[in-house]
Amino acid sequence: MQDWILPALSIGSRVAADAAGHVRSVYRQACNVELDSGALLTLLSAALGNLPHGIRCALPEPKDLRVWLRPGQAVARDGSRLRTPRGRVTIELSHAAPWRCELPACDVYARPAVQAMLATLAVLRERALRGGFAPLVLNEADPGSPLEQAMRKRLLDSLPMLNRAGASLDAALAAKALEQLAGLGPGLTPSGDDFIVGYLAALHSRCQLEPALRTFLRGLTAPLARLAAASNLLSRQFILNAVEGEFAEGLTQLVAAIATHDRQLAREAAEQVASVGHSSGCDSLLGLLFGLCPVLVLGPAPSRAAGALRHGSQHAGESITA
């Protein structure tokens, strides 16, 4: 088999300088590497968006990482190169552009931002798949399976609690609600973990304009670190990234579209996020919208939700919990 040197296009800000570990799982356009430190490194094809813990590479035909990589193979960084000796492939890092998540501030009470959020909600309603949180929260039909029924019951308990915690800036109560969601649902990254990541993206964006949220967010750091430690490798990395305000490029672009009041761009970005995984993208969207404006997820019809938003966060919170 031919030895290949693949040029890295970009490298995320949370990629360790001394990365060494082994291949955990390989897909056509992504490869997860479990590092000796316990962190996750993800190799990505150029077609995918950036990740804080990712390295995007230009792949030759057939553009399939499974051609070279197999679970269990060693991976080690050697200066400007990431080597996989048994895979006979080396990733050249010297010309990779550094990538860091730049999450913009979002004024959730501005009417144009509300319209962009409503466009995002419309995508979520259209794209929500069975098996995640979105259909259980947004659809009125009764869940089919006992698992879905149990998940809906948990959501009906946890989400109003999380909303009350956010309205009163009670980090301890919020941590209790998030603990009930963590690990909930099937998948490589359970729905509850994806929801938490989206929720944190909303808080990190909002707190730039809402100083009172900063203390609330800091109060969640230690509890979420404990939840992350108990989760699987993939979820742990995404949650730890989120605690530090680092998110996938697609989610960052969606927040930027909402912050700049671009409804069309918000819809396009939401479509991209929703396409991730079986339900992971939709669960992240649900968490993001809940963190930006809980009334859109739990409250009245969208038109009334928009009105509640325009009158301020206190009234919006009251309209949900009343």
Closest CA relative to residue 205, chosen from 96, 104, 314, 73: 104
pLDDT of 150 strictly over 50: yes
Return the pLDDT at 300: 53
Average pLDDT over residues 43-55: 96
Question: What do you get for the CA distance between the two ends of the chain, in Å?
Answer: 66
Max avg pLDDT among 108-112, 143-147, 255-259: 255-259
Return the pLDDT at 145: 82
Beta carbons within 10 angstroms of residue 39's beta carbon: 18
Confidence of residue 14 (pLDDT cuts 50, 70, 90): very high
Q: What distance in Å separates the CA atoms of residue 72 and residue 93, rounded to the nearest whole number? A: 22
Pairs from 79-85 (Cβ < 8 Å, separation ≥ 24): 82/8, 82/19, 82/55, 84/23
The residue among 187 and 199 whose pLDDT is bigger is 199
pLDDT in tens, 84-131: 888 788 999 999 999 999 999 999 999 999 999 999 999 999 988 767
In DSSP terms, 92 is beta-bridged to 7, 81
Return the pLDDT at 61: 84
Average pLDDT over residues 78-87: 86
> Three-state DSSP class for 2?
coil
CA distances from 254 to 248, 298, 306, 309 (A): 10, 21, 19, 19
Give the rounded percent of residues in the chain with a pLDDT score beyond 70: 91
Q: What is the DSSP string of 233-289?
A: HHHHHHHHHHHTT---HHHHHHHHHHHTT-HHHHHHHHHHHHTSTTTHHHHHHHHHH
pLDDT in tens, 298-308: 875 433 333 44
The residue among 188 and 245 whose pLDDT is bigger is 245
pLDDT of 176 strictly over 90: yes
Confidence of residue 311 (pLDDT cuts 50, 70, 90): very low
